[in-house]
Amino acid sequence: MNPSTKGWIKKFGSLVDSESLVYKDYNDLYFKLRSTGLVYGLSETVPDHFKHDTQFSLDELVKINFIDALFHCYCFKNEHPKFEDFIPSILKFYKTLELSELSVWDKLLIGKDNFSVLERLINDRVLADNNILTRNFNKTIVNSLIFIDVIAYERYLRSDYNIKDYVSNLESMVMNITYDALSFKDKKKKADTEILNTIQESTSYIETDRADLNQFYHREIETKYSSTEKKYFIDMACLSVWEDQFVDDKEYNFIKALGADMNLSEENVNDSLSHIATFYKKHKNNFLLFKSSSQFSVFYENSSQYVAKLIKRNSKRIFRELNQSKDLMLLLTQATTRELTKEEQNKVQAQLKDIFKTIPSLAIFILPGGAILLPIVAKLIPNMLPSAFDDNKIEE
């Protein structure tokens, strides 16, 4: 089986369909995927039940573990699971997330074969760099947030209600935790600083100060998420701050405090600390996750696509609301050529929120977790609604 060529998913299905269910439940699956590395965004080995004599690349290992994880989630929720029934289920999941659209060129190349469509989707989800000319020179090619797809699919199989908002909030929560985790590091590397700056810039339109935002997301992770979701959060926090060891007690105390906020037992938190230390020592050369700001560019690229679709679908209503707010139109226009003052940013934020309150499908941006996307909104609106902002347009 070659995960880099057409037909690999159908081949994978022929190998696993005859196998009995390997993991007893989702919790068992999570800890096994953490040991192989998929929870952290990489994979060092294929699943134990997958027999092979091939030397796979990093992205191929991730693809195999990823499809195996998704299929197991499907098996947990179906009494008589079949791989051919799993394919339309996972495609429907990605369609619900609005991630299944292919270009005209891709449709011509791939056709309507579900296996081929899923191969393209998984390739796009796994790889942070899809440019074949640059991929071989880019070692941080794997999307480090790939495991969120597994968490979301497991949730989707239980209930598909508001699954898009759920995924968006999950990603925002990881970003908030990562921000705080890196903030506690005394000796920050260049990549750490770049990540912090990126997140700081993304929250520039949020009027609430950082302390209030922290209180919000700490309340959220205490009450809103399941024990397995909280386990993922604490594992991501450990991943963010870990180097060869903790430099001082600040980082260690942050992890402990985060675990307490989520009502995780001390044993549970110590397990995450112990595992990241062992995994790091064993796989140090490939340990590139969350150490490059390029991973966050993946998040912003996905978020930009999501925001653009929301703006496009609601363009008429947004246009109507903007026409009633000349001050907001002026500030959004000026933001394309100069940096707004903090007072102006707060004004933009407040007026955008007022608009979003009137449009139900844009309500996600009102929440503190969704407010991190406001800079993307402010940047995209002038480009997507040019007629509302173009004072230099020449009438025909």
What is residue 113's predicted lDDT score, i.e. its pLDDT? 80
Quote the mean pLDDT of the chain: 74
Amino acid, res. 132: I
Residue 62 and residue 43 in contact, taking contact as beta carbons nearer than 8 Å:
yes
Strand, helix or coil for residue 394: coil
- CA 330 to each of CA 238, 326, 354: distance values in angstroms, whole numbers, following the listed order: 44, 6, 17
What is residue 191's predicted lDDT score, i.e. its pLDDT? 58
Highest mean pLDDT among 257-261, 359-363, 383-387: 257-261
Q: What is the DSSP string of 274-300?
A: HHHHHHHHHSGGG--TTSSTHHHHHHH
**pLDDT higher at 335 or 225:** 225
What is residue 154's predicted lDDT score, i.e. its pLDDT? 93
How far, rounded to the nearest angstrom, does the alpha carbon of residue 95 sit from its chain's CA centroid?
A: 16
What is residue 138's predicted lDDT score, i.e. its pLDDT? 38
Residue whose entry in the numeric block shows the structure tokens 């700056």: 197
Best CA proximity match to 85, nearest among 157, 152, 6, 28: 157
**pLDDT higher at 29 or 54:** 29
The pLDDT of residue 214 is above 60: no
pLDDT-based confidence at 354, cuts 50/70/90?
A: confident
What is residue 137's predicted lDDT score, i.e. its pLDDT? 34
The pLDDT of residue 72 is above 80: yes
Percent residues over pLDDT 90 in the chain:
13
The token duo for 99 is 């991630």
Q: Which H or E run includes 68?
A: helix 58-76
pLDDT single digits (tens) 290-337? 444 445 555 556 666 667 777 777 888 888 888 888 888 888 877 777
The pLDDT of residue 187 is above 50: yes
Highest mean pLDDT among 87-91, 175-179, 254-258, 357-361: 87-91
What is residue 189's predicted lDDT score, i.e. its pLDDT? 64
What is residue 151's predicted lDDT score, i.e. its pLDDT? 93
Mean pLDDT of the 287-292 span: 49
Residue ranges of domains in the chain = 8-158, 163-186+210-286, 294-388
pLDDT-based confidence at 30, cuts 50/70/90?
A: very high
What is residue 91's predicted lDDT score, i.e. its pLDDT? 92
- C-alpha torsion 174→38→26→240, nearest 10: -30
What is residue 231's predicted lDDT score, i.e. its pLDDT? 93
What is residue 99's predicted lDDT score, i.e. its pLDDT? 67
Residue 11 and residue 112 in contact, taking contact as beta carbons nearer than 8 Å:
no
